[in-house]
Structure 1
Amino acid sequence: MSIDIIDIRPLAGRVWLVPGDPDPDNIRGSVAVVADDAGSVVVDAGQSPTHAREIRHAMDAAGLPPARWLVYTHHHWDHVWGACAWPDVEIIGHVAGQEILRREAARAWSHRYLRDEVRANPLLGPSFRARALAMDTWDGFTVLPPRRVFTDELTLPTGVRLRHVGGAHAPDSTIVLVPDSSVALLGDCYYPPPAHLRSPDDAPDLTMVAGLVRDEYDWYVDSHSEPWTLEQARSFKA
């Protein structure tokens, strides 16, 4: 099976970034890699096993250490569906997402299942059509809950810090801080609820963003935008 070559670029210090797809119909977010001689920390799994394999190939081509830890910023499919293609890693996530992903793992995922679910609830259409596009095969696919969970904060042996922030987008939203590289990885934490649960009044939580900005972090990265500088992050107004 051929593997597409995708872009992986250094952001700051030991943080590398695989950019997301700007096409909103594709729903493919960015994935960060924190390189470390003890093993790299991968932040989010990719939106499919194929995407994950492409990221692994890009890491190898860039000479980055193999992944040892995989951190979920939250449980949504485009952040976790690639996990089954990351061998020999410890999957870490907030405790609030563990049971949700156990239920997701029990679903009979297939293209037919996706079609049936959209017929039953058309609001699921954009998300489930993107899932269908992401999955070229269901062979060997499974949703993997985190094997290690935390409640408030957790620091990995590499110095990478995980902090639960919650929010309207997902109850398990976690930010990932890399102090020595001055990078804050935000996932989707300040986004409004997913489209099928969103009301007309829902909007990005800019108050949350303002509360996360710190002088010691020069870069702020969410999953579906270009990285922001500290100055750009400060310009967000609630």
Structure 2
Amino acid sequence: MNQLVDGVWWSMPDLTTDRPVIGAIAGADATLMVDAGASPAHVGPFLDELRKQGAPPVRYVIYTHSHWDHVWGGSEIKARHQPVFIAHELTRDKVLAQSRLSWDDASLAERVRLGDVESFSLEHIKAEHPSRGQMVIVPPSVGFQKQLEIDLGGVRCLVEHVGGDHSPDSTLVYARERKVVFAGDAAYTAVSGLRHYTRQVIFQLLDHVLAFDAEMFVLSHTPAPLPREQMNALREILWRVATLTLDERRPEQEVVDQLTQADIPFPLSPEFVSELVDAFKSGAASHPKP
């Protein structure tokens, strides 16, 4: 667990089983957690560290969206703290449906076959939850439509639905006094079918996120929180890739060369730029202009 600013902590994501960031925001009276992690084994050590840091009890858990790696550690938090679990109403309905299903190997394989679970998640789920016979998935008890605000005692958290390509139910958490945004997976590509960005969707989302009076932005599968300069740079990178690829129809290698040689304060690899090119091409193909 790492401290980002006073009263705000985050865990590093782990590609081994695609574990996302878990976040915590503490006020004088209560702690709010951003996502519950992939499993009790994932979130348990984070809860231990929160206790060592002297954080107030966890009273709220926000699910940023319904994907398993952000939700399936909820039973461990519930057992220790009995918090209120909160999510957008779409997330609430999806997690409630998950909680009513069987997740044994045969059932899991069938969900992958039907496309309800991404194939790359199959081995990750088995690693995080070797035995799923008694697995408890905790659905939210509170759902909301657009936004709500929670006062933790001198620290106010805005919880807002933002949607996005990755998952239509995506939600962010903005800690006002701490000037931190936890954006979940909202800024990532869609994962169902071909990974893609829809140009209008991603830039509307990024402009909205950057409009917050925040200094740090936490993206759930990005290795470290992004200061505002880097978040702006990420938007610029996406804009250049979209423009060069879709408007100017430049060859992929030319786009890669231009971006990797540009003076942009963001770590760029040729592989990452190529993935962005493919994502915008796929998004344009699946959402053609009328």
The alignment's TM-score, normalised by the length of structure 1, stands at 0.87
Gap regions ≥5 residues in structure 1? 1-7
Deviation for aligned residue 1:57: 1.2
Question: Does residue 216 of structure 1 match 2:222?
Answer: no
Rounded to whole Å, the distance in 2 between the matches of 1:31 and 1:216 is 22
Compared CA separation, residues 121 and 164, structure 1 to 2 (3 A): closer
| 1:139-187 Cα shifts (integer Å, max 9, x gaps) | 6422222101111110012211101111221121111000111101100
Rounded to whole Å, the distance in 1 between the matches of 2:26 and 2:109 is 39
Question: Does residue 20 of structure 1 match 2:13?
Answer: yes
Q: What root-mean-square deviation, in Å, do the aligned CA atoms of Structure 1 and Structure 2 show?
A: 2.1
Structure whose residues are more often helix by fraction: 2
Compared CA separation, residues 215 and 200, structure 1 to 2 (3 A): closer
Deviation for aligned residue 1:208: 1.9
Gap regions ≥5 residues in structure 2? 240-290
Residues 83-232 of structure 1 mapped to structure 2, 5 A cutoff = 83-87=74-78, 88-118=82-112, 124-138=118-132, 140-158=134-152, 159-194=156-191, 197-199=192-194, 201-202=196-197, 205-214=202-211, 216-225=213-222, 226-232=224-230
Structure number with greater Rg is: 2
Deviation for aligned residue 1:231: 0.9
Which of the residues 31, 38, 41 maps onto 1:47?
38
Task: Provide the residue aligned with 1:76 in structure 2.
Answer: 67
Which of the residues 223, 230, 233 maps onto 2:231?
233
Query: Does the Cα contact within 8 Å between 2:190 and 2:196 map onto a contact in 1?
Result: no
| 1:61-97 Cα shifts (integer Å, max 9, x gaps) | 2222221100011111000001111121100000111
| 1:5-64 Cα shifts (integer Å, max 9, x gaps) | xxx11101321111111x2x5110001100123221000001012212222112122222
* Aligned amino acid, residue 54 of structure 1: P
Query: Does the Cα contact within 8 Å between 1:97 and 1:171 map onto a contact in 2?
Result: no
Compared CA separation, residues 191 and 198, structure 1 to 2 (3 A): farther
Rounded to whole Å, the distance in 1 between the matches of 2:135 and 2:117 is 25
The alignment's TM-score, normalised by the length of structure 2, stands at 0.72
Rounded to whole Å, the distance in 2 between the matches of 1:77 and 1:9 is 23
Deviation for aligned residue 1:119: 5.4
Compared CA separation, residues 110 and 61, structure 1 to 2 (3 A): farther
Question: Does residue 10 of structure 1 match 2:6?
Answer: no
Query: Does the Cα contact within 8 Å between 1:15 and 1:33 map onto a contact in 2?
Result: yes
Rounded to whole Å, the distance in 2 between the matches of 1:90 and 1:200 is 33
Could you say which structure has the greater relative contact order, defined with CA pairs below 8 angstroms and 6 or more residues apart?
1
Query: Does the Cα contact within 8 Å between 1:215 and 1:230 map onto a contact in 2?
Result: no
Deviation for aligned residue 1:201: 4.7
Deviation for aligned residue 1:191: 1.4
Compared CA separation, residues 27 and 61, structure 1 to 2 (3 A): same
Rounded to whole Å, the distance in 2 between the matches of 1:161 and 1:192 is 24
Residues 25-36 of structure 1 mapped to structure 2, 5 A cutoff = 25-36=16-27
* Aligned amino acid, residue 163 of structure 1: E
Same amino acid, percent of matched pairs: 26
The total of aligned residue pairs comes to 227
Rounded to whole Å, the distance in 1 between the matches of 2:220 and 2:195 is 23
